[in-house]
Amino acid sequence: MEPLEDRAHAFAAAAHGSIDQRRKYTGEPYIVHPVAVAALVRSVPHTPEMVAAAYLHDVVEDTPVTIKEIEQEFGLEVAELVGWLTDVSRPGDGNRRVRKHKDLLHSAAAPPAAKTIKIADLIDNTKSIRAHDPSFWKVYRREKMALLDVLKEGDPTLWKQAYSQAR
């Protein structure tokens, strides 16, 4: 791994670990998800900054870490990617459908590198949700298909994999 990727992995593990964040269905330490997302990103054409952002993609959303801290630690390019991967909706914005639509519009405007990471995130989350929560899978599948419509500029190999999971 590149030093940037190593640092991002360690930073994400510490951030998620600091709040003892766990995967919803398995109880595993949360870092298993960013590691899986980074591996998917690494499997297609990528940059070290994309892999770093894959490790960090949930840090701002889920922990006390800020985008400014990401920028100070990893640079502007990684911080911008993480910003594109961070939900912009807030609970006060309305019900789940309203919030997810707001987040979809944010994802639609993202650059291709961020879309590639988002697709990898969807692939890994789909595996968990389909296996452990069939009733939520129906809701998530609809949201995922809508997201995939706006993520077509991401990596085509990952996009096809994500699409085939949801069929």
Supply angle C-alpha 58, 50, 8, rounded to 5: 55
Is 73 tagged catalytic? no
From 62, 69, 77, 103, active-site residue: 62
Give the total number of structural domains in the chain: 1
Nearest-angstrom CA–CA distance, 16 and 23: 11
From 6, 61, 93, 149, active-site residue: 61
Is 133 tagged catalytic? no
CA-nearest of 50, 23, 30 to 38 is 50
pLDDT in 10s for each residue of the chain, 167 residues: 679 999 999 999 999 999 999 999 999 999 999 999 999 999 999 999 999 999 999 999 999 999 999 999 999 999 999 999 999 999 999 999 999 999 999 999 999 999 999 999 999 999 999 999 999 999 999 999 999 999 999 999 999 999 999 88
CATH number, domain containing residue 105: 1.10.3210.10
Whether the model clears a pTM of 0.95, i.e. scores above it, the answer is: yes
Supply angle C-alpha 153, 154, 155, rounded to 5: 120
Q: What is the span of the domain harbouring residue 27?
A: 3-166
With a CB cutoff of 8 Å and minimum separation 6, the contacts of 70 are: 56, 59, 60, 78, 79, 82
